[in-house]
């Protein structure tokens, strides 16, 4: 049995360079993938590395360690820009899974239905990838390539997620639609973040939809509309052309046509909610 609990980054990278190890933090993806063959594959445990943990303020924003479990994100005292991410964290599986599952694992697992990805896309998150060659920083939207596909290169580890700061008065939210409460894989999910401009409109808008394409997608045309339109008028102008970035498939959870339709509904509702909240604020 080969299982290394790395105590330093260097040790982790050396093991990784040795090849053919699975990186494990919480274990919520590693163990189910074993199916009925009860042998743990060679694994590198990065959960003990301090640099992979915690949510910290940086000079230009925020840094979240890749092995930070959802539970820590839920329980952290974070500004409004993170409310969407925290709402997503509360929708991850169950309390038990939130305790084990990590934000970095959610990204690297690269499921189209990863709960953490849409809110991170609205945060313009970047990922810091370390290897023996150093560190490279990649926008999350570039890092995720497809179903179960990322730009993680051999010998690389996802160490942290970096997020630029946003004004305190921004609004963010997340909504997950599933066929049951708890322990459910999304049919569709939406995350959005807006910055009210003080006169009823929004000076910035980021809208992302998950589980409706191979990788969760930002709806940039819709974002442009929300920012450029006056006050609430954009709600009237939303149409299917704003959702062309999505290409939902039909599966056991729902049809593609359904996903397309409810994506629009969920987005519309979230923006309506922001308008009300923004007006109060």
User: How is residue 270 annotated by DSSP?
Assistant: H
CB of 243 to other proteins, least distance (A): 15
CA dist list (Å): 186 to 31, 154, 202, 242, 257: 21, 30, 28, 21, 15
Q: Does 212 bind other proteins (CB under 8 A)?
A: no
Give the residue, chosen from 51, 76, 138, 184, that forms a contact with other proteins under the rule CB under 8 A.
184
Which of these ranges, 23-31, 118-126, 132-140, 197-205, lies near other proteins under the rule CB under 8 A?
A: 23-31
User: How is residue 169 annotated by DSSP?
Assistant: T
* 62 sits in which H/E element: strand 61-65
Q: Which of residues 245-274 bind other proteins (CB under 8 A)?
A: 252-255, 257-258, 261-262, 265-266, 269
Give the residue, chosen from 93, 131, 221, 232, that forms a contact with other proteins under the rule CB under 8 A.
93
Q: Identify which of residues 79 and 155 has a Cβ nearer to other proteins in the complex.
A: 155
CA dist list (Å): 191 to 8, 15, 72: 35, 37, 20
Q: Does 204 bind other proteins (CB under 8 A)?
A: no
Radius of gyration for the alpha carbons in the chain, expressed in angstroms and rounded: 19
Q: Does 239 bind other proteins (CB under 8 A)?
A: no
Q: How many CA atoms lie within 13 A of 120 on its CB side?
A: 28
Q: What is the largest CA-CA distance in the chain?
A: 62
Q: Which of residues 45-64 bind other proteins (CB under 8 A)?
A: 45, 47
Footprint on this chain of other proteins (rule: CB under 8 A): 1-6, 11, 14-15, 24, 26-28, 30-32, 34-40, 43, 45, 47, 71, 90, 93-97, 99-100, 177, 179-185, 187, 252-255, 257-258, 261-262, 265-266, 269
């Amino acid at each position: 049995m080969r299982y290394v609990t790395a105590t330093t980054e260097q040790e982790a990278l050396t093991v990784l360079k040795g090849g053919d190890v699975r990186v494990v933090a919480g274990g919520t993806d590693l163990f189910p993938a074993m199916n009925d063959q009860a042998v743990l594959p060679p694994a590198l445990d990065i959960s003990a590395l301090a640099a992979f943990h915690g949510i910290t303020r940086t000079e230009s924003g925020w840094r979240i360690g890749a092995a930070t479990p959802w539970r820590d994100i839920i329980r952290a005292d974070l500004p409004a820009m993170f409310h969407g991410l925290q709402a997503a964290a509360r929708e991850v599986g169950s309390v038990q899974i939130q305790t084990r599952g990590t934000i970095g694992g959610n990204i690297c697992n690269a499921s189209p239905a990863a709960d953490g990805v849409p809110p991170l896309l609205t945060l313009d998150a970047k990922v810091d990838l370390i290897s023996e060659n150093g560190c490279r920083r990649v926008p999350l939207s570039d890092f995720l390539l497809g179903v179960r596909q990322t730009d993680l290169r051999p010998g690389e580890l996802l160490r942290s997620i970096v997020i630029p700061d946003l004004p305190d008065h921004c609004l963010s939210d997340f909504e997950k639609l599933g066929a049951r409460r708890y322990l459910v894989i999304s049919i569709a999910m939406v995350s959005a973040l807006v910055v009210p401009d003080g006169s009823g409109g929004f000076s910035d808008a980021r809208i992302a939809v998950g589980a409706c394409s191979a990788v969760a997608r930002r709806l940039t045309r819709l974002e442009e509309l929300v920012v450029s339109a006056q006050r609430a008028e954009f709600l009237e102008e939303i149409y299917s052309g704003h959702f062309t970035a999505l290409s939902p498939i039909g599966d056991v959870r729902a049809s593609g046509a359904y996903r397309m339709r409810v994506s629009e509904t969920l987005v519309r509702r979230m923006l309506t909610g922001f308008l009300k909240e923004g007006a109060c604020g």
